[in-house]
Amino acid sequence: EDQVTQSPEALRLQEGESSSLNCSYTVSGLRGLFWYRQDPGKGPEFLFTLYSAGEEKEKERLKATLTKKESFLHITAPKPEDSATYLCAVQDENSGYSTLTFGKGTMLLVSP
Amino acid sequence: DVKVTQSSRYLVKRTGEKVFLECVQDMDHENMFWYRQDPGLGLRLIYFSYDVKMKEKGDIPEGYSVSREKKERFSLILESASTNQTSMYLCASRPQGTYEQYFGPGTRLTVT
């Protein structure tokens, strides 16, 4: 059974204080790993897809990296508007209909 | 930009009522999904559809049914609403040949 574990569950940062969120996963074969951002009361917003170990993607203050067992979402010099819950999901290459398995998310709060 | 819309942002229904949640996407995506999201449990897949009139059960289909009569529209039906179906319901769509899912804004359903 595919598993996705995100840590920490919650993270509080000061504005400008860089940090990383972790997503560890267990799949029989990884087809893709996805990062989403979710604001309170809204649907998840797609951020990145990573396909293979060593791959990196960047968007503004966010950088996602991937190894064979985990992914990191690095947040550089965060601002209060980066406050949100960040979700990680994986797609198993043996999943017949290409469904995603989601982690429970990391709630990030950036204080001014 | 991909746009996924859901018929209501907030809905309050009584126990035993039949409830319809509608989702529409404007990007001609073949695949559509219904999730529910609960604190501490994350996103759980209820049903998905990979083509018109086709549907597959997800991880928690009990108490729900779906309908997809047109490619752009995917409906979730609660045949007889119960209080344990109080939740945030999220619809997503995905084009064939890619793996990223795009989410709607969500419907917060309360069953009293």
Q: Domain total for chain A?
A: 1
pLDDT (0 to 100) of residue A96: 66
What is the residue range of B85's domain?
Answer: 4-111
Total domain count, chain B? 1
Instruction: Write down the pLDDT at residue B2.
Output: 67
Structural domain containing residue A93 = 3-111
Q: Average pLDDT, whole number, for chain B? A: 94
Give the model's pLDDT for residue A97.
Answer: 67
Which CATH number characterizes residue A71's domain? 2.60.40.10
**Nearest-CB residue to A105 (from B42, B56, B94):** B42
Cα of B40 to nearest chain A Cα, Å = 7
| pLDDT the model gives residue B96 | 83
- Closest A-chain CA to B33: A99
- How close B75 gets to chain A, by Cα (Å)? 17
Q: Quick check: A50 and A57 in contact, CB under 8 A? A: yes
Q: What per-residue confidence (pLDDT) applies to B5? A: 95
Distance separating alpha carbons of residues B6 and A95, to the nearest angstrom: 27
**CA distances (Å), origin A11, targets A6, A8, A41, B43, B81:** 12, 6, 19, 20, 36
- Residue A74's pLDDT is 98
Q: Supply the CATH number for residue B94's domain.
A: 2.60.40.10
pLDDT for B99:
85
Q: Do residues B87 and B38 lie in contact, with contact meaning Cβ atoms separated by under 8 Å?
A: yes
pLDDT of residue A40: 93
> Which residues in chain A come in under a pLDDT of 70?
96-97
Backbone angles phi, psi at B85, to 5 degrees: -100, 5
3-state secondary structure (DSSP) of residue A81:
helix
Residues 6+ apart with CB under 8 A from B7: B20, B21, B22, B23, B107
Q: Contact A45/B105, CB-based, under 8 Å?
A: no
Residues with pLDDT less than 70, chain B: 1-2
